[in-house]
Amino acid sequence: MPDTLIHPGRVARALDHIDDLQDRGELLALLDDHHRRPALPPEVYVRLLRRCRVDPNRKVEHATVRALVAAVIRWVSWKYRGLSYHDREDMAQGLLQIVMREVAKRVEIDWWEITFQTNLERAAADLYPSLFDLRPDAERVAIDDHADAINDEASLARDTVDKVLIDGRIAKILTPDELAIFHPLFMTEIPLRSDRAAIDLVRVLGKPEGTLREMKTAIKTKLEAALTKEEL
């Protein structure tokens, strides 16, 4: 491994272009146009998020998170197009949790800023068995059974999340770390903890059940508070 890591040419050129922009509005417009072709390299999004940790800028951070999330979802939709919609959603959410965790680990350049695609493919290869390969002694929990087990509090939390998602404000309300944990907690049918299921969130996320419940309550409270404001 070289002593000093440097961005590949296409990433360096994109970052130079961003640095040459006249104002923040131009950068936000560039980030919001993440469906254009050619799109910004995803390595650029990683660098911008890390810059925001050193020099906080909430609008740039939120726009960058949206662009990175969209890039990962597009890749999963193409790479795993043979899976069902719900399985692709699980894969995308799992990968986003990994990516956001890796981005938050450091502010200096690393391999996610040099070979993002390679790292994403390796993460997906490691994640796939934990999501879709059953252990010999495991039983699948039927979705209907899991739905019946959802209590009133969880249903209210999902209603709150749906309201925020409808007007597209989720990336403006949550931090990148909260956004990473939000997807598996609120947007999947994976049980929080289950001895019968092939996977549960305690195993996927590597956090105790009590911690996950506290995080879910805290995020729900934050979303509810945001809904009471006229502007965010």
- pLDDT by residue (tens digit) across 144-203? 344 444 444 455 555 555 554 444 566 677 777 777 777 777 766 677 887 766 567 787
pLDDT value, residue 181: 75
Distance CA 130, CA 86 (A): 15
pLDDT value, residue 140: 42
Q: Is 51 helix (H, G, I), strand (E, B) or coil?
A: helix
pLDDT band (50, 70, 90) for residue 139: very low
| pLDDT tens digits for range 52-108 | 988 888 888 888 988 888 889 889 988 888 888 888 888 888 898 899 889 888 899
pLDDT value, residue 171: 65
Same domain, 119 and 86: yes
Same domain, 91 and 195: no
Same domain, 126 and 150: no
Residue 219 amino acid letter: I
Report the run of H or E that residue 39 belongs to, with start and end: none
- C-beta separation of 126 from 133 below 8 A: no
- Report the candidate in 164, 155, 136, 156 with the shortest Cα–Cα distance to residue 223: 164
- C-beta separation of 40 from 30 below 8 A: yes
pLDDT value, residue 149: 41
Number of domains into which the chain is organized: 2
- Look at residues 104, 133, 162 and tell me which one is the last residue of a structural domain: 133
pLDDT value, residue 188: 64
Two tokens at 121?
């493919």
Q: Is 195 helix (H, G, I), strand (E, B) or coil?
A: coil
Distance CA 97, CA 179 (A): 8
6, 9, 13, 14: CA torsion to nearest 10? -80
pLDDT value, residue 167: 44
Same domain, 92 and 2: yes
Same domain, 100 and 56: yes
pLDDT value, residue 141: 43
CA distances from 120 to 12, 168, 205, 221 (A): 20, 26, 17, 32
Same domain, 50 and 152: no
pLDDT value, residue 151: 43
pLDDT band (50, 70, 90) for residue 12: very high
Same domain, 142 and 126: no
Distance CA 84, CA 60 (A): 33
Distance CA 225, CA 232 (A): 11
| pLDDT tens digits for range 107-138 | 999 999 999 999 999 999 988 888 876 444 44
- Report the candidate in 5, 9, 51 with the shortest Cα–Cα distance to residue 31: 51
Cα end-to-end distance, the chain, whole Å: 44
Q: Check: pTM over 0.85? Answer yes or no.
A: no
Please tell me the number of Cα atoms within 13 Å of 149 on its side-chain side. Answer: 12
pLDDT value, residue 116: 95
Same domain, 42 and 127: yes
Which residues in the chain belong to E strands, given as ranges? none
Same domain, 155 and 112: no
Q: Residue 127 is part of which domain span?
A: 1-133
Same domain, 146 and 107: no
Q: How far is CA 223 from the centre of its chain?
A: 17
Same domain, 207 and 119: no
- Look at residues 93, 108, 133 and tell me which one is the last residue of a structural domain: 133
Same domain, 114 and 189: no
| pLDDT tens digits for range 26-61 | 999 888 876 666 678 999 999 999 999 888 888 888
- Look at residues 133, 151, 179 and tell me which one is the last residue of a structural domain: 133
